[in-house]
A and B are shown apart, each in its own frame.
Chain A
């Protein structure tokens, strides 16, 4: 057997995560024929110690040539170390989509959706908001974004069979103060909005107790909220929805036009925190965004259906899974003693939805889609 090896030095030092490395090497069969397996494992471990690599993740974050240089191991042994580390890092083996459909893996895409308390809108969204990514809702001021966000904060509290997720909502305000009166009004009219749900169930749900309101006036407090308070609420199962109203406010106000690189970096940090929370706790995240005018000769990110585009540019758009836009139309619609300006809710892009629109109106009880035949 031709040996690639070089001279090896045995150093006895204490390392952190020694047990981790031994565990991940324990189940791994070495492919070399020379020498007993145990001796080879000790050699790999000792080289690992001397390289001052602290964890399995650190081993995988470096290119293979760097690992080889740091540990001084031969190429096949570096490969063994990396493969053992990969086994330790892996959360689950690849599973077929058929198994996914049958619900054999709860961590993966399960098709679970958060309904928005309106059958027309649920039809537009094919069930509701997906639980595994960021849904963005953008529009001009007064279009109805906060109204819809409040409605979804209530619909999440219903049990799963009624389109909710059986948990509360964490509502992070960055602009105005929280519209508490409007929320109270919507809570009192829930029986009207959700007429298909037994009223005893609605009476039993204590809606206002389960909406956790946070005010974040700047980026630092937003980071603190997402990194400290949100995980506690999510881990305890108290919260199954995160709403950020709005995303644009903080990023547009704290950065000048020239600081766009720093802004993008902060935006990426913020969105990766949201993604982490969303994935770990299978929680939908709804971000409300402002709009900005479309510049002439601007590289289009989509067919121009209106003169405005969501703010924060391409860097933010790349993080978003489902993009919705809402805008006011010139028409009004009336029903009984109420009248409402008509809005249009449009699906701009989503992996599972066609580009489609529907008309919505805002009533006392909440936001309702206007069905086609009405």
Chain B
């Protein structure tokens, strides 16, 4: 209760500040030049006066020169505090999706600003397209699940291209027919402006889809179908928009214009993809050399993607497709090259930016509603709504009927309903409408667009969740990918490729296999640093998994924890294993261990050296702790045979290429543990990675050495490291290890 009260007061404070500074903004705005002249004059005269009689002003208020960044920062702060606030009201946030709440808040803020007496800011199209949209799309593209996307690519393209064209035509022609009805007062709007309006309003919006679908967790197939469609229809929208705007008041449309339009579509779509791929490859290539300066790795990812977007905007190509292509192409190579911390940074920055963008977009939608003028026409707007809904349903039904003849996994009527219901419109439509030339009935169009957006966001957004529950649509499976699935999927891939070869049929699997081979042979060598270029995918996956486990195990307090979502162990088995894994120490060993720990732990923690912007230095305290852990481990392993260590190669120092992974040791992992508790611990050995390009600088800086699963350099045979969770089968296996 108290926290809610604090939050509310914080919110109110933000709102009041905002209105206040907008107030002063307006009053300054009109007379800014005049005032500036005044102030400088005053300043000079003030100075002279100062020199003579006035005391030096100890406290001054000069808001004008910080106004812009201040207002921007305040808006973002307001948006973030609001987002925070929603989660304090769980009942509200489970019924109403976040986007609705944000639009409402925007309406409230807009209303407040209007009552204060000045114009609230409108969502400007250039701000939207250059600053607010790219983070969301990049976040979507970088983390796009490529496998389901490529498996369903045909379906997605059909929906995106043919579906959008059909929607635009249906709405445009329908509205034209309505406009022709005598007495509606809309006869001035000819066919082409109607078609233009249709093309603006028919595009499914990725921002809205993301905002709503994120919260309902439907199964992967439906999610990727609707989401993929919303991304790929950008090309269609761009072409239609520019084409129709060019030609809308032209005398007549001939075959030439249609052909040019089709050609333009291919240029826009393929050109956008090409630009994205180009920048993606350059980004991957750059990341190959960043091992010496890890701090700026995330920056390259962001900058290259943004450049791809801007470059494609220069040529009026599809910026969204460029961003998606860049993210998808860049990701496998960049992830192989960058450190683990950079990877986390990229992930969290992208999520943060896209979250802020989304919030701002929805709030501004609400504010802009109250800001602009409106021209409400019952007939036009209600017909738009009806045609949009019907057009979408018909389009989806028709396309699915045709597509199901070609698909292996058919789309059920339930799926079709969700796809048609998920056709949400959003801020892209609004911005495109805002950019319209004055020769169109812009205000009417804008009002209609806003109405449709409100309808989809509120009505469809709120009802989709209960509908999903009602229809019992399959939900997203939460489990992580197990190593079983990974192995068997690869196995099946090879098997199917073989069978296709036997049939002589060059299908889907055949080409995928060829692409993989090409990738392995040529591309990986160029774009991935050093040794990791030869690492097979399975090994990389396995190491990622082991790492996650290790982190979980340390974070959870040292008890062996199997991947919970994946393990299908019965409880009985789990307890016996954990019993077996808890080591037993003799009394005197325990005393020795305690003594060592006490000695080492009593040293107070040294202060970190002054922060250097160019390197990330490890905490010096950590080195001591690690050494102590190693000592302790050696002591313990002399006593028992089964210890909990991560698997290590017994081939000594030369760890195979795949074993390098760039985890820095965080201080979190090294909290002092009760030495008496017989908890298994992980030894994390910092050793220099075998990367050719960075061996010199690594040792000095203490930077990013990575976890290398290297053998303990102990000499005695009894300390030979055992396998983690080894097969408790026949005894001769462990004997082998002792002797090898």
Question: Do the two shown chains form a genuine complex with each other?
Answer: no
A residues at B contact (CB < 8 Å): none
